[in-house]
């Protein structure tokens, strides 16, 4: 089995998220996904056994998927390393295929994580800017019918139909990564010093309201968001309701100073 005709998605790229200086906060990478057409699988038990070691999935689970002849398509493992995909391809198993998929990656890790947010397995926004601007960031997938080799590569000259994917648009934030980093570090130091469970801070340009930093401690790494409690995903400055109380006195004093009602020494 060296080639086959297949209808498949042409995945669009999700738009990038940048800070105000062009630093990448969220990008999309291409990874491999292994899927199967159970109707073409000749020996579910054998294939499940050899794939189990490579994919790190229980043989029984794989055998159930591969043995279901009512299915024409089923994911075996999504977004795996290129090395794993190559091992699967070399087996040249009937009904087992590989395709490209995009995976969201956050190169700055925990930096501004509560602001940027993260996406799910299907690249849909779940938190932060990622969900707030889903309609802008998300692209439109295309489709094609073509002959592919066992590695999932389209064979030149064998494309039968093709609809171009439309990539999502990029977004630039007012966040300054350096100021954000300093703010987050200061919050961490303060919480450590006073044994506080958490803290939040905003750095804003008072002239135009642009937000240079919006930090919450503790943070999380959106590349591994599933390892954290959902409480960590929230930006403390905008996700919770607080009574102004004494904090509003700053506004009153600032107004009084601006109107010369009081002096700086009073």
**Distances 119 to 13, 30, 82 between C-alpha atoms, Å:** 13, 15, 21
Report the SS3 class of residue 32.
strand
DSSP state of 223: G
Structural element, H or E, at residue 178: helix 177-194
Count the Cβ atoms, other than its own, within 10 Å of residue 38: 18
| DSSP-derived pairing of the beta strands 199-204 and 211-217 | antiparallel
**Distance (Å, rounded) from C-alpha 258 to C-alpha 197?**
36
161 is catalytic: no
Note the Cα 175 to chain centre separation in Å: 19
Q: Which residue has the tokens 């008072």?
A: 206
Using only C-alpha atoms, the chain has a radius of gyration, in whole angstroms, of 25
Among 66, 10, 60, smallest CA distance to 36 is for 66
Catalytic residue, chosen from 52, 232, 239, 246, is 246
State both tokens at 199: 């803290």
The catalytic residues are 246
């Amino acid at each position: 089995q060296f080639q086959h005709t297949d209808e498949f998605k042409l995945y669009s790229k999700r738009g990038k998220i940048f800070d105000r200086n062009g630093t990448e906060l969220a990008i999309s990478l291409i990874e491999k996904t292994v899927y199967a057409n159970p109707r073409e699988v000749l020996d579910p038990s054998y294939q499940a056994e050899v794939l189990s070691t490579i994919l790190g999935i229980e043989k029984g689970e794989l055998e159930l998927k591969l043995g279901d002849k009512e299915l024409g398509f089923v994911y075996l493992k999504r977004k795996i390393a290129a090395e794993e995909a190559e091992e699967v391809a070399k087996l040249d198993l009937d009904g087992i295929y590989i395709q490209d998929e995009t995976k969201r990656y956050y190169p700055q890790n925990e930096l501004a994580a509560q602001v940027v947010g993260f996406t799910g397995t299907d690249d849909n926004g779940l938190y932060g800017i990622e969900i707030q601007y889903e309609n802008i960031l998300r692209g439109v997938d295309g489709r094609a019918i073509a002959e592919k080799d066992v590695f999932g590569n389209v064979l030149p000259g064998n494309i039968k139909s093709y609809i171009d994917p439309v990539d999502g648009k990029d977004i630039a934030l007012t966040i300054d990564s350096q100021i954000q980093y300093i703010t987050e570090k200061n919050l961490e130091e303060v919480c450590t010093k006073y044994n506080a469970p958490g803290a939040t801070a905003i750095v804003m340009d008072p002239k135009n309201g642009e937000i240079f930093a919006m930090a919450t401690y503790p943070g999380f790494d959106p590349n591994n968001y599933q390892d954290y409690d959902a409480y960590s995903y929230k930006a403390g400055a905008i996700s919770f309701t607080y009574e102004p109380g004494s904090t509003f006195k700053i506004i009153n004093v600032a107004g009084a100073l601006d109107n010369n009602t009081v002096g700086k020494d009073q």
